[in-house]
Amino acid sequence: MKKMRMTQVARAEDLTPHMRRIVLTGDDLKDFPADKEGAHFKAIFPQTGQTQPKLGLYLGFKKWMRSYTVRAFDHQKKELTVDFAVNDHEGLASNWAKHAQQGDYLGVAGPGDTKHTNYDALWHLLVADLTALPAAAAILEKLPSNAAGTAFIQVPTTADKQAIAAPKGININWVINKDLTKNALLQAVESLQWPDGKPAIFIATESSQMKVIKKHVKTKPGYSNEQTYASGYWKA
Ligand SMILES: Cc1cc2nc3c(=O)[nH]c(=O)nc-3n(C[C@H](O)[C@H](O)[C@H](O)COP(=O)(O)OP(=O)(O)OC[C@H]3O[C@@H](n4cnc5c(N)ncnc54)[C@H](O)[C@@H]3O)c2cc1C
């Protein structure tokens, strides 16, 4: 288990109808590693009736943890920005985020490694639902300016689209879909005119949908396991 840090909410804002941005701060972030945008960490939430999360390893600690993404980190200000999908399900994390206010406590364990396999690949394919929008956006913002490829990003409404500073050669397609039982991202990927050359692929969506999308891209020319990251970000 990576180092655990105590943080507090510096500010919170509704980015879009289904995404709430929480900026965390605290002295514990003074040695949080830089350049981890797009990587995941474990958020540790306060237990019922508590204001502060219990840090450390103890029986049942995983019940209070969820995976989230480093959307941005400002070392100077010791500020960690995290975007939470809200308003489409009820859960420990999404409910916490919905009501989070300045001063609220959150534990942070990690971060892990960046999720993209090759930032210098010939071309890139990113397939992300709302929970992976923070990771996809962070990856797109880190790609070299001459990068080429396609991103399919699913959001529930057009108002949930975000401005992403992606390279000009990346075609961002917003897939508007409220029905999370429908694999709209698969349909979108199936419609892609597959370019030549070996791509770096990032797929992060609901677990069973991710598996079907991965199965599809595996049949395509240029596919390789070593240049593919495919992960279930939540389970229906
Ligand atoms: C590596 C990684 C990085 C992630 N980064 C982010 C991130 O930056 N932002 C983010 O919002 N999420 C992110 N997620 C997804 C997040 O961890 C899950 O959505 C998590 O289950 C939310 O916890 P919860 O306590 O709100 O709901 P839970 O208590 O886990 O689940 C409660 C119920 O809600 C359902 N559910 C959970 N998530 C969703 C959802 N998004 N939409 C619809 N139903 C859902 C479950 O099936 C369950 O029935 C990431 C996941 C991984 C693996």
Domains of the chain: 4-109 (2.40.30.10), 123-234 (3.40.50.80)
Mean per-residue pLDDT for 30-54? 97
pLDDT digits (tens, 9 = 90+) for 77-100: 999 999 999 988 999 999 999 999
Query: Which pLDDT score is estimated for 52?
Result: 98
The secondary structure of residue 182, as a DSSP letter, is: S
Cβ atoms of 128 and 205 closer than 8 Å:
yes
Mean per-residue pLDDT for 168-181? 97
Is the whole model's pTM more than 0.85, yes or no? yes
Cβ atoms of 143 and 170 closer than 8 Å:
yes
Cβ atoms of 125 and 58 closer than 8 Å:
no
pLDDT band at 4 (very low <50, low <70, confident <90, very high): very high
pLDDT band at 2 (very low <50, low <70, confident <90, very high): confident
Cβ atoms of 12 and 101 closer than 8 Å:
yes
Mean pLDDT, rounded, of the chain: 97
Mean per-residue pLDDT for 132-154? 98
Is a pLDDT exceeding 90 seen at residue 117? yes
Spell out which residues line ligand 1, taking CB within 6 angstroms: 40, 66-69, 83-85, 88-89, 91-94, 131, 134, 180, 231, 233-236
Distance 84 CA to ligand 1 centre (A): 9
Cis before 199 (ω within 30): no
Judge residue 159's burial from the number of C-beta atoms within 10 Å of its C-beta, 0-12 exposed, 13-18 middle, 19 or more buried: exposed
Query: Whose CA is closest to atom 48 on ligand 1?
Result: 236
Which atom, in ligand 1's list, is nearest to the CA of 92? 25
Which atom, in ligand 1's list, is nearest to the CA of 66? 17
Pocket test for ligand 1, best of 36, 69, 71, 89 (most atoms within 8 A of CB): 89
- The sheet carrying 228-234 orders its strands as 169-176, 148-155, 123-128, 199-206, 228-234
Instruction: Provide CB contacts within 8 A for 45, sequence distance 6+.
Output: 53, 64, 65, 66, 92, 93, 96, 106, 107
Residue whose tokens read 């595996």: 218
Which atom, in ligand 1's list, is nearest to the CA of 85? 11
Hey, is 194 helix, strand or coil?
coil
Mean per-residue pLDDT for 156-168? 98
Is a pLDDT exceeding 80 seen at residue 1? no
**Token pair of 205 as six digits:** 């969506």
Mean per-residue pLDDT for 43-70? 96
Q: Could you give the CA distance from residue 24 to residue 204 in angstroms, rounded to a whole number? A: 24
Rounded percentage of the chain residues whose pLDDT exceeds 90: 98
Alpha-carbon separation of residue 193 from 176, 180, 199 (angstroms): 20, 25, 13
Distance 233 CA to ligand 1 centre (A): 7
| Alpha-carbon torsion angle 158, 83, 170, 208, nearest 10 | -80
Q: Give the residue from 147, 152, 168 showing the smallest Cα distance to 213.
A: 152
